[in-house]
Structure 1
Amino acid sequence: MKFKKASLSDLEILVSTRVNVLRSANQLDLSVDMKEVEKSSRLYYQEALASDNHIPKSEHWLCLD
């Protein structure tokens, strides 16, 4: 298992993971349109990672198997 600090190059995996977690946590069917969530999540991560302004401690960590 490998851990690394997320960067802008990890944007798509961060967005897709967030959508999957929200879909699962809210027990949403695959037919539910998540395009707006994807759009807002992508914008959030782009801004947060570019400015290193994400809480906690400005870090996103990925665990890659």
Structure 2
Amino acid sequence: MTGDRDDNGKPSMSSSDDAAARRAARRAKLDSVFGDDLPEITKDECGEDHKGHSQDWFEAQRPPHYE
């Protein structure tokens, strides 16, 4: 049964547990460096109506070379 424990006497993890732990550690490191600034739900997913500019605003912003 010596194969069931690692060098520190703790039970060894399976390869899938080891891979999951590495992914979790990598994700935690990336989050600590770059943060987690993305919202869970974006504006287009929340069901609110579009509150954009009117057609008059778009026409006022039209460049002269489009005339």
TM over 0.5: no
Structure number with the higher strand fraction is 1
Larger radius of gyration: 2
**What TM-score, normalized by structure 2, do the two folds share?**
0.30
